[in-house]
A and B are shown apart, each in its own frame.
Chain A
Amino acid sequence: MLSVQRFLDEVIGSLRNVIAPAIADPYPKAQAYMAAVILEFVSRQVEERGDIATGKEQALGALFADLAKLLDGKELATPHDKDGEARLCQIIEQLYMERDRLGETIFTAANQRVRQTLRQLLDQDLKVVGKAGQ
């Protein structure tokens, strides 16, 4: 997703340069310009919320610790990417690609644990779109 600041800047730009100039009626035209002005103030007041990133980091940390145990010594050939979500993508691909070597029992257990974390990550993203817990 784009940053909050960038999104607000783009919406303000559209209100000011596209929407308002196209409106002939003076009242809605003034409303569109005023919406742009208000959003400029609002953009100086808001900042990205930090709880989502923290929630994701915690979920990923717990997963990586659990996976080491679940794989029972059968390490995956995944580099330790600094970005936790990028590392998880690599782990998911490796799990499927090495399914035969791992065996169905280990694959299933690891995949279920991964999916548990994916649900946690998704629930964090869904907070932003207002659909968490639905």
Chain B
Amino acid sequence: MQEKIRTYLQWKLPAAHNLTLSDFVQTAVGWSHEIYVFYANWQEDGRELRRGFCLRKDPGAGLLRELSSLKDQYRVLQALEPTVVPTPRVYWYEDDPSLLGGPFFIMEKVEGEATNPWSRAGKQVYAEAAKRGKLPRSFVEALASLHNLDWRAAGLDFLGVSGPGKDFALREVAKWESLIRQSLRKPEPVLTEVSMWLKANAPAVQRLAFVHGAYRTGNLMIKDDAIAAVIDWELQVIGDPLYDVAYVLSDLNREGSPLLSCIVEREFFLDYYQQLTGVTVDLDVCRYYEVLYMMRSTAFWLSASGLFAEGKSKDLRLARTAYSVPVVLDMAAKALGF
């Protein structure tokens, strides 16, 4: 793979001489895509150059199956480049499988860390940053920059725009139902009850915004206690900004930490976010979206374990998710009062 990437870069950088790759790492964090991070080193016009890159490749059997589109991700990042939203710059997209075996795109390697918040050490990193105070503010400001974005002007309406009222929530439920249908290997009556409840109780949207869909620590590159880039653009949608707010408020993303997303105090988050965006946070609507996230998580785990069961992946991490399904359904059942 490393040599194929080097050959590709040489083709895209024809003025580069003696191009080599260094610090080449395939990270293990991506569930939907293969991710490679590396530096390219070359000589050009008598100068020594070194540039960091990150490559995302479609493995052909990703967690989101056909709901994931690398091309859409590339277009989103392209559209965001001239905006205030901190994102990596993208360079090239290719859908020719003869190059690397599947579609891929290459973007800049943003300097910083996206520390995993689930480990004890990760929680400690974020707890210490929270005490210093700068990162929690940056966390809220980056989210507000997404929700305040003029998404039509940025050209993001290609993602599809929900109709007024309950359309956004119903479309999301339908989206995750479609992933469940592709993945389900046996009937799941608890999941059926959750889906039907979600359809019967869908909230109306106050306003439409550009929504990340998985805004949390771990999906944010951090440098000098500030958000250097929002990453992991797979679930973005034009929809209710409270969808992101609910994700931040959710217990799903703090695993015992008293801080939302392991980084920000609840009251500060709510006050500062509403001040920056003018959005009124309706906690009942957020509780609805939290149940929707539980349905979505169930869809992810059914899809992941299904890929393994179908023999499309040998990754034991996917197999393990079969045991997460009843745990998430238990959370949803408790949220619905049973």
Contact = CB atoms under 8 A, between A and B. Distances in A.
A11 B316 contact: yes
Contact of A89 (B187, B199, B330, B337): B187
Contact of B327 (A10, A95, A129): A129
Interface in A86-131: 86, 88-89, 92-93, 95-96, 99, 114-116, 118-119, 121-122, 125-126, 128-129, 131
B316 A89 contact: no
A88 B322 contact: no
Contacts of A62: none
Contacts of A119: 333, 338
Contact of A129 (B186, B192, B326): B326
A96 B173 CA distance: 15
B328 to A, nearest CB: 11
Contacts of A92: 189, 192-193, 196
B326 A10 contact: no
Interface string B99-136: 00000000000000000000000000000000000000
A125 B200 contact: no
A86 B192 CA distance: 10
Contacts, number: 81
B61 interface: no
B178 to A, nearest CB: 16
Given A118-B333, A122-B330, A85 B189 contact: yes
B25 interface: no
A118 B193 contact: yes
B327 A116 contact: no
A118 B187 contact: no
Interface of B: 186-190, 192-193, 196, 199-200, 305, 308-309, 314, 316, 319, 322-327, 329-330, 333, 336-338
Q: Which 8 A-B pairs have the closest CB atoms?
A: A125-B326, A115-B338, A85-B187, A86-B187, A88-B189, A96-B196, A89-B192, A1-B322
18 contacts: A2-B305, A2-B309, A2-B319, A7-B319, A85-B186, A85-B187, A85-B189, A88-B187, A89-B187, A99-B200, A115-B337, A116-B338, A118-B189, A119-B338, A121-B189, A122-B190, A122-B333, A125-B326
